[in-house]
Structure 1
């Protein structure tokens, strides 16, 4: 998959290099959840039938982050993970349009005439709630009108599970509330965090449960504080474990920044400075304060046993 950074207006050089008849899926696609996947699968299928490339255009940073509006609090899929997922779905080209205040003022007409037409987009595939242009003035109906006889538009219908429309905002809410089961159903996969293993307080090793302290490498949506059954990947090795997201109230007072501590089962290797990807599968319990170290150790042992059982029957 080719990744093409874009700014507005695109340079003549970029347009000349990448202009070709193509089917393009457009959207923010944060999360690449089941609904987003249906949009992209539609584009891939159309492109295969027409024997032309399939592309995706996304916008980065997130418009809510730039405009300081709404409930934005991080990414479900930072750009690196989004790239990997789209590559696995068979996308040929990923256009990453820089979203800034200047681009936020671009009208729907300007976007179509200055970006989509010069790239020779044959068909644009969007979700039913797609909005674009200054103040979100454009929708799929306007996009179809502006495309005229130069570009057709396909609209994917809402994707529902158990009568509910799958959405990024719903997944964010589920993660904040500890409803990991719902988040995973709507994502269609585990929720993933990635970072560098860094020095922590090294308290875990003194109580028989050494942990890897994960320093996240991007601005992720942070799930509810608590304990999770996870699978981690370090240097190509996949391992099961248990992760605590929280502030360790047994040892700390006050509102501290959450830490991410992973205890890996049957593992005893030095991994400071290495990249670790953690896939979250089950929410075990909320974080709480214990009366002392002995009570904490007993609970960690129970959490580890619970995690082993849950991971032995995970769907993903």
Structure 2
């Protein structure tokens, strides 16, 4: 998959280089959940039918992050994760549009004429709730007319599961409340985070449960504080290992920590992970974060978490 960073308006050189007939799915696609998948697979199928490249046009940073409004509280799929998933879905070209405050002021008409039309889109594939341009004034049914009939438009209906629309907001809510099974079902895969293993307080080693402290690579959605059963691996290793992840403020030892700390204890592993990138797939919420009255109580609690994790991951 070719990745192209673009900004508004396209330069003459970009128009000349990038302007080829193509089918493009357009949207933020944070989460790349099953609803987004239905839009993107529609674009891929149509592109193959027309024998032209398939593309995705997405925006970075997240518009809600730039505009500081709405219920945005992190990414479900930061850019690196999104790129990997889109490549697996068969996309030929990924356009990453630089979203900034100036771009947020661009009218729907100018977005179409100065960005979409120069790309020579054969067809734009969008979700039923797609909006574009200043204050979201543009709707999917306007794309064809604004392009003076040059761009065909396919609008994909909402993706329903058990009669409920699959959406990023619902997935965020599920993560916030520890309903990992719901998030997994709507994403069509496990919720994934990644980060660099850094030095921590090394208290886990003294307790008999060595942990890898993660410095996350991006602003991920933070799931409910607590303990999780996970699968994890380092980016240089293809083997997934079972593990217990704690997301919390370490109340047994500290007061006043406000930024959640991510720690992963890999079961039956004793290697050196410092400096490596760890990828973690969240499988199931085990319990909420607790403040233990003693170190012995904490050790007993972790032992129960490990036993529960083995039970979950060995199913």
The interval holding the TM-score normalised by the smaller chain is over 0.9
Structure 2 CA distance, aligned partners of 1:218 and 1:303? Answer: 27
- The answer for the alignment partner of 1:87 in structure 2 is 87
Q: How many Å apart are 1:146 and its aligned residue?
A: 1.8
Q: How many Å apart are 1:145 and its aligned residue?
A: 2.5
Structure 2 CA distance, aligned partners of 1:142 and 1:76? Answer: 29
- The answer for the alignment partner of 1:128 in structure 2 is 128
The 3-state SS of whatever aligns with 1:110 is helix
Give per-residue Cα distances to partners, 1:205-237, cap 9 Å, x unaligned: 101101000110111111010000001111213
Q: How many Å apart are 1:162 and its aligned residue?
A: 1.2
Q: How many Å apart are 1:57 and its aligned residue?
A: 0.2
Moved over 2 A (4+): none
Q: How many residues align?
A: 313
Q: Quote the RMSD (CA, aligned, Å).
A: 0.9
1:116-265 aligned at under 5 Å gives the runs 116-234=116-234, 235-236=236-237, 237-265=239-267
1:305 corresponds, among 301, 304, 307, to 307
The 3-state SS of whatever aligns with 1:73 is coil
Structure 1 CA distance, aligned partners of 2:138 and 2:79? Answer: 25
The two structures have a TM-score, normalised by structure 1, of 0.97
The 3-state SS of whatever aligns with 2:118 is coil
Give per-residue Cα distances to partners, 1:88-123, cap 9 Å, x unaligned: 000000000101111111111111111111110000
Q: How many Å apart are 1:254 and its aligned residue?
A: 2.6
Q: How many Å apart are 1:147 and its aligned residue?
A: 3.2
Give per-residue Cα distances to partners, 1:167-205, cap 9 Å, x unaligned: 111111111111111111110000111010001110011
Q: Check whether the contact 2:64–2:72 (CA below 8 A) recurs between aligned residues.
A: yes
Structure 1 CA distance, aligned partners of 2:216 and 2:201? Answer: 17
Structure 2 CA distance, aligned partners of 1:53 and 1:304? Answer: 48
- The answer for the alignment partner of 1:273 in structure 2 is 275
The 3-state SS of whatever aligns with 1:252 is coil
Structure 2 CA distance, aligned partners of 1:310 and 1:148? Answer: 56
Q: How many Å apart are 1:132 and its aligned residue?
A: 0.2
* Structure 1 unmatched runs, 5+: none
Of 251-260 and 54-63, the range deviating more from structure 2: 251-260
Q: How many Å apart are 1:248 and its aligned residue?
A: 1.1
Q: Check whether the contact 2:144–2:150 (CA below 8 A) recurs between aligned residues.
A: no
Structure 2 CA distance, aligned partners of 1:271 and 1:97? Answer: 35
Q: How many Å apart are 1:163 and its aligned residue?
A: 1.3
Give per-residue Cα distances to partners, 1:114-154, cap 9 Å, x unaligned: 11111100000000000000110001111233234211100
Structure 2 CA distance, aligned partners of 1:74 and 1:12? Answer: 35
1:61-76 aligned at under 5 Å gives the runs 61-76=61-76
- The answer for the alignment partner of 1:108 in structure 2 is 108
Structure 2 CA distance, aligned partners of 1:51 and 1:63? Answer: 33
Q: Is 1:46 paired with 2:46? A: yes
Structure 2 CA distance, aligned partners of 1:172 and 1:14? Answer: 36
The 3-state SS of whatever aligns with 2:291 is coil
Structure 2 CA distance, aligned partners of 1:14 and 1:301? Answer: 58
Give per-residue Cα distances to partners, 1:238-281, cap 9 Å, x unaligned: 21100000011111123431100000011001111111011101
- The answer for the alignment partner of 2:33 in structure 1 is 33
Structure 1 CA distance, aligned partners of 2:93 and 2:103? Answer: 21
* Structure 2 unmatched runs, 5+: none
- The answer for the alignment partner of 1:7 in structure 2 is 7
Structure 1 CA distance, aligned partners of 2:10 and 2:45? Answer: 27
The two structures have a TM-score, normalised by structure 2, of 0.98
The 3-state SS of whatever aligns with 1:189 is coil
Q: Check whether the contact 2:55–2:91 (CA below 8 A) recurs between aligned residues.
A: yes
